[in-house]
Each structure stands twice: as structure tokens, then as C-alpha cells.
Amino acid sequence: MAIAREAAELLVAHKPATVLTGAGVSVDSGVPDFRSPGGIWEEFEPDEYATAEALAFDPDKSWAFFAALFDLLRTIRPNEAHRAIADLEGLGVVRSVVTQNIDGLHQAAGNRDVIEYHGGPALLCIGCGAAVAGLTPTQLEAARLGTAPRHSCGAVIRPAVVLFGEEIPPEAMRRSLEAVQASHSLLVVGTSAQVWPAAGLPQLAAQQGSPVIEINLEETPISRYAALSIRGRAGEVLPEIVWQVRRMLGR
Ligand code: APR
């Protein structure tokens, strides 16, 4: 694939790269994305389940969504795309991964600097802020059936994911800006770039003169200004890029 060679050339000439990923990188692990046909938002309307207000006013309802998400995350494994991104870090081409996903698959694949831009599945109490180690099977089953789990202080437990209407965790924001600024290219994989401020990171990279390389099944707002925009499956394109990078670096 000539385009994979072009991507590899850009990455080798402009290393290190930061990688920005979205739900598309995990589709081959069996996690549907959000906005494609059959995506998660078709079953769970975001305004009803995934906003700060929805959680505050009807936590039982939000938990039906969280429980479905947790059920999905329990069984999944990294796919070829995650493994290729970890390989690129091993080859010294990738510095950091900024992910909008909460599935932990980049860490499982072996990437060491992973910034969870939209938080993660760790649990905490909304009332007293205590970290909660996990849910009992009874709590999880009740959540599936529409009863939010509660902490011993009586308040509702929530996952530390960023809901619509909530701020990006300041540490994730700071580290991701730092990663983009310290990198010389940005590889964007499997995001529709509809959600801000994550969608601003590729713009920041382009403004500082770092080539943006996009891999997506479809065109996105990033495609217009990307140095290279590749239409394809992340799990097929990324291993080809790794192969080309290895060839160029003689490793
Ligand atoms: N390879 C490459 N791209 C893919 C693949 C694949 N195998 N499968 C799907 N895609 C693309 C889709 O074409 C789409 O453009 O991935 C993109 C996924 O976009 P979204 O579903 O909008 O997911 P994402 O961009 O991660 O959403 C951002 O929005 O809903 C919130 O907080 C949620 O983190 C999420 C954020």
C-alpha cells in the first residue's frame, strides 16, 4: 500500500508523534463506536443517559448505560491497531497516546504514556468523593435493571468518565497539550472529530507545523487540513505502516 509508505515516511521524518485515538480504534476489538450506524448513541441517546444533568437528575437511568458499557469492557482485548501503535512507540516513532476511549486497550497493548482525555472507568462517590474499588455482582445486576449503586455514605457512585457538559480532567488537558507541543507529527485514528476540545488537538498540531496523518473509514473535518488522510480500517492500515517504518529504520 503506497499510502502506508507515505505515512511511514512522514512519521520517520517528523518523529516523535503523538497519537490521538477515538472509538474507531477499538471497533475491531468488538466495541461499537458512538456515531456510525449501529453505534452506542443509537441505543443510548446521549442527552438522556450521558450528560452531567442526566446523571444528576436520573442516576438510575445513566447507570443502565454505564452497566452496559462495563459489561462490554470486561471481555475485550487489544486488536491489531492497538498493537501497531504500541509497536510504533517501541520503535521510537510514537511518544504519547491521547485517547478519547475509556477501554484501557492502549495500556493493555503496552503503550506507556497514555492520556485518558475523557477519563476512565474508575469509580468514585459523587457525595464524599471517595474512590470505590469496584461494584459487587449484586450492585452491577441492580444497575443493569435500573438502580444506581450507592456508596456507604448514601450517595450515588459514578465512573470517572467525562460526560457531556463536564470539563476535561485538568491533568489530562495539560499532558495532552504538552504531548502535542513536544511532538513533530500527529497521527489521528478512528475519531469523527465531532467532540471538542479533543477535536482541537489536530488543529493545534497543524498550526505548529506538525503534519497530521489521519486514518479513518470516512472523511472527517480533519481530512481537509491533514497532510495525509487515509481511508481504511485502523487494524489493517496501521500494521502496514509499522512494517514500512521497520523497513526504513532497518529494524
Ligand atoms: N478504522 C478506522 N476508523 C474507524 C473504524 C476502523 N475500524 N471504525 C470506525 N471508524 C471511524 C468512524 O468512521 C468514525 O469516524 O471512527 C470514528 C468514530 O467516531 P465516533 O463514533 O464519533 O467516536 P469518537 O470520535 O471517539 O467520539 C468522541 O464523543 O461520544 C463521545 O465521549 C465520547 O469519546 C467519545 C467522543
Ligand 1 midpoint to CA 24 (Å): 4
d(CA 62, CA 55): 6
Q: What is the pLDDT of residue 48?
A: 96
Q: What is the pLDDT of residue 103?
A: 97
Ligand 1 midpoint to CA 95 (Å): 22
From the list 58, 19, 63, the residue with the least C-alpha distance to 161 is 63
User: Beta-carbon neighbour count of residue 187 at 10 Å?
Assistant: 28
Q: What is the pLDDT of residue 105?
A: 98
The domains found in the chain, sorted by start residue, are 1-31+79-118+168-251 (3.40.50.1220), 32-75+120-161 (3.30.1600.10)
Pairing relationship of beta strands 17-21 and 185-189 according to DSSP bridges? parallel
Ligand 1 atom having least distance to the Cα of 220: 15
Residue bearing cell 452496559: 68
Give, in order, the Cα–Cα distances in Å from 157 to each of 44, 70, 100, 118, 221: 20, 14, 22, 18, 36
Q: Is 217 in the pocket of ligand 1 (CB under 6 A)?
A: yes
Q: What is the pLDDT of residue 88?
A: 98
Digits of tens for pLDDT over the chain (251 positions)? 799 999 999 999 999 999 999 999 999 999 999 999 999 999 999 999 999 999 999 999 999 999 999 999 999 999 999 999 999 999 999 999 999 999 999 999 999 999 999 999 999 999 999 999 999 999 999 999 999 999 999 999 999 999 999 999 999 999 999 999 999 999 999 999 999 999 999 999 999 999 999 999 999 999 999 999 999 999 999 999 999 999 999 98
pTM of the model: 0.97
Name the β-bridge partners of 185. Answer: 17
* 3-state class (DSSP) for residue 62: helix
Residue type, 186: L
Nine-digit cell at 51? Answer: 450528560
Q: Is 195 in the pocket of ligand 1 (CB under 6 A)?
A: yes
82 tagged catalytic? no
Q: What is the pLDDT of residue 1?
A: 75
Q: Is 181 in the pocket of ligand 1 (CB under 6 A)?
A: no
Sequence-ordered list of residues with C-beta below 8 angstroms from that of 159, at least 6 positions apart, any chain: 66, 69, 70, 102, 119, 120, 121, 122, 123
Q: Is 23 in the pocket of ligand 1 (CB under 6 A)?
A: yes
Q: What is the pLDDT of residue 148?
A: 98
Ligand 1 atom having least distance to the Cα of 46: 30
